[in-house]
A and B are shown apart, each in its own frame.
Chain A
Amino acid sequence: MNERRLTLALMDPPYESANSTTALRIITAALEKGIDVNVFAYEGAVCLPLKDQTPHANPVKGTSVEEEEHPTTKAFVSSLLAIGKEKPLLTWVNCGLCVDERGATNVVDGVKRGSPADFFKMANESTNTLVIPTK
């Protein structure tokens, strides 16, 4: 087991708040340092890895999908799960009740389903836990 492990609780839905960007940056930096990371996605944050997200063109600016190069949070989560496949390990758990409420079941590979009990276990097993709440 890695000596250093960080748990994050995320609550913001994608494309709503700079909190999501900062959270993804924190996860990236931790993995780059070889630190294991647990993510417990709660409430709207369960939509961050939603597979149905689609990059779009911008008709106001007249740009195409390719020109717009719109980033999706599902792509970020997928990339992070690929980096954190083993050592360091990224464990991403979506709150099952939050998923059901939102119909957010179609998520990228590697995302697990769990409950707040998993968050409690993650927090107990981590060096530290950071809760990033909605404003």
Chain B
Amino acid sequence: MATVEVSFTPLPAHVRTARLVATAVARRSGVAESLLDEVRLAVGEACSRAVEAHRLYCPGEPVRIALTERPGRFEVEVTDTGVAPDDRPGTRDGADSRQLQGFGLAVIAGLADRVQVSETAGGTRIMMSWPSSGGSS
């Protein structure tokens, strides 16, 4: 069971960094080539949400992503410590932002094989996983 962890300053520019790392580790873990686009997109969505939450509520805190290779499974966990923005005032773009949040989760749910979203008082944790052929260890 191998784990790669990335923690990055909540900058939009680093969402791409997280996508690239996640895709590379997924490929290495034996996730089918045909699923890698889904991994890229889903991880990007989860990280984008985390970055936006941090930029609003805790810009000094890093966003964390953990990539874990389990037997037959590739797991991605994205955690943020920004309090879930529901109808909080101060959301940058108002209607556009809210729409984006709705889309983001819908996209993740539509792409990942298994998804679990846990929202606590301290932040949000999104767990996504895909089948893998085990890959190298």
Our verdict on whether A and B bind, yes or no, reads: no
Interface residues of A (CB under 8 A from B): none
